[in-house]
Amino acid sequence: MTPTGIQTQNPPIQRKLRKQNLSPTTRSQRNAGIVLALPWFIGLILFFLIPFFVSLYWSFTNYSILQPGKFVGFSNYVHLFHDATFLKSLLVTFYYTVFSVPLTIIVGVGVSLLLNLKVKGQAIFRTAAFVPSLVPVIAIMILWNWLLSPQIGVVNWLLSLIHVQGPGWFTDQHWAMPAMVLVSLWTGIGGSTVIYLAGLQDVPQDLYDSAEVDGAGVFRRARHVTIPLLTPVIFFQLIMGIIGALQQFNLPYLISGGNGNPNNSLLFYGIYQYQTAFSYLRMGYASAMAWIMFIIILIITAFVFKSQSRWVFYQGAKER
Amino acid sequence: MSKSMKTIAYIVLIIIGLFSIFPLLWMISTTLKTNSQVNLVPPVWIPHPFDWKNWIEAVTYIPFPEYFGNTVFVSLLATFGAMLVCPMIAYSFARLRWPGRNIVFALTISVMMLPSTVTMIPLFVEWKTVGLVGTRWPLILGAFFGSPYYIFLLRQFFLGLPNELEDAARVDGLSEYGIYFRVMLPLAVPGVLTVGLFQFMASWGDFMGPLIYLFKPSTYTLSLGIQQFMTQHTVMMQQLMVVGLLTTIPIIVIYFFVQKRFIEGITFTGIKG
Q: pLDDT for A282-307, tens place per residue?
A: 989 999 999 999 899 889 988 998 89
Q: Torsion over CA of A91, A95, A101 and A107, rounded to 10 degrees?
A: -170
The helix (run of H) or strand (run of E) holding residue B168 is helix B163-171
Residues in chain A with CB shorter than 8 Å from the CB of B259 are 127
Residues in chain A with CB shorter than 8 Å from the CB of B43 are 154, 157
Residue B264 pLDDT class (50, 70, 90 cuts): low
- Of A86, A88, A70, the residue nearest A78 (C-alpha): A86
Q: Can you give the pLDDT at residue A180?
A: 95
Q: In the 3-class helix/strand/coil scheme, how is B88-131 assigned residue by residue?
A: HHHHHHHHCCCCCHHHHHHHHHHHHCCCHHHHHHHHHHHHHHCC
CB contact under 8 A, A134 and B108: no
| Radius of gyration in angstroms for the set of CA atoms belonging to chain B, rounded to a whole number | 23
Residue type, A8: T
How many Cβ atoms sit within 10 Å of the Cβ of residue B260?
A: 11
CB contact under 8 A, B146 and A39: yes
Residue B126 pLDDT class (50, 70, 90 cuts): very high
Q: Give the gap in angstroms from C-alpha B164 to the nearest C-alpha of chain A.
A: 10
- Residue A245's closest chain B neighbor by CA? B115
Residue type, A109: V
Residue type, A311: W
Residues in chain A with CB shorter than 8 Å from the CB of B177 are 32
Q: Which residue has the higher pLDDT, B261 or A35?
A: A35
Report chain B's terminal Cα–Cα distance, integer Å.
Answer: 33
Is the pLDDT at B265 greater than 70, yes or no? Answer: no
What angle separates helix B237-266 from helix B53-61, to the nearest 10 degrees? 80
**Cβ contact A40:B108 at 8 Å:** yes
Q: Torsion over CA of A127, A130, A136 and A140, rounded to 10 degrees?
A: 100
In chain A, alpha helices (H): 12-19, 24-43, 50-58, 75-80, 84-115, 122-130, 137-147, 154-161, 176-200, 205-213, 218-221, 227-246, 250-255, 269-274, 283-311
User: Which among A124, A135, A157 has the least Cβ separation from residue B43?
Assistant: A157
Rounded CA gap, A230 and A194, in Å?
A: 13
pLDDT tens string B3-22: 788 888 889 999 998 888 88
- Give B153's DSSP letter: H
- Digits of tens for pLDDT over chain A (320 positions)? 444 444 445 555 555 555 556 677 788 889 999 999 999 999 999 999 999 999 999 999 998 877 778 899 999 999 999 999 999 999 999 999 999 999 999 999 999 888 888 888 887 888 788 888 878 888 888 889 888 988 888 889 889 999 888 898 999 999 999 999 999 999 988 878 877 887 787 677 777 778 778 877 777 888 888 888 888 888 878 988 998 899 898 899 888 888 888 889 999 999 999 899 888 889 899 999 999 998 998 899 889 988 988 888 776 544 33
Q: Give the gap in angstroms from C-alpha B271 to the nearest C-alpha of chain A.
A: 7
- Give B156's DSSP letter: H
CA distances to A291, B163, B171, B189, B270 from B167, in Å: 47, 6, 6, 21, 19
Calculate the average pLDDT of chain B. 86
- Give B150's DSSP letter: H
- Counted across chains A and B, CB pairs separated by less than 8 A come out at 275
**Cβ contact B202:B131 at 8 Å:** no
**Cβ contact B255:B197 at 8 Å:** yes
Exposed / middle / buried, residue B89 (Cβ in 10 Å: 0-12, 13-18, 19+): buried
Residues in chain B with CB shorter than 8 Å from the CB of A33 are 92, 96-98, 101, 176
CB contact under 8 A, B266 and A6: no
- Of B221, B76, B54, B55, the residue nearest B136 (C-alpha): B221
Is the pLDDT at B42 greater than 60, yes or no? Answer: yes
Q: Can you give the pLDDT at residue A11?
A: 52
Mean pLDDT of B118-135: 91
Mean pLDDT of B229-233: 77
- Give A120's DSSP letter: T
**Cβ contact A106:A117 at 8 Å:** no
Rounded CA gap, A114 and A102, in Å?
A: 18
Q: Can you give the pLDDT at residue B82?
A: 97
What lies within 8 Å, CB to CB, of A136 at 6+ separation is B204, B205, B207, B222, B223, B244, B247, B248, B251
- Of B90, B79, B219, the residue nearest B140 (C-alpha): B79
ipTM attached to this prediction:
0.85
CB contact under 8 A, A290 and B263: no
A258 Rama sector, left if φ>0, alpha if ψ -120 to 50, beta otherwise: left
CB contact under 8 A, A136 and B251: yes
- Mutation pick from B25, B120, B132, B215 vs chain A, by most beta carbons of A within 10 Å, is B120
User: Which among A26, A33, A46 has the least Cβ separation from residue B145?
Assistant: A46
B100 Rama sector, left if φ>0, alpha if ψ -120 to 50, beta otherwise: left
- Give A6's DSSP letter: S
Q: Give the gap in angstroms from C-alpha A310 to the nearest C-alpha of chain B.
A: 22
DSSP codes of every residue in A129-151: HHGGGGS-HHHHHHHHHHHT-TT
Query: Exposed e or buried b for every residue in A14-44, given b needs 16+ CB within 10 A?
Result: eeebeeeeeeebbeebbebbbebbbbbeebb
Q: Which residue has the higher pLDDT, A300 or B118?
A: A300
CB contact under 8 A, B96 and A139: no
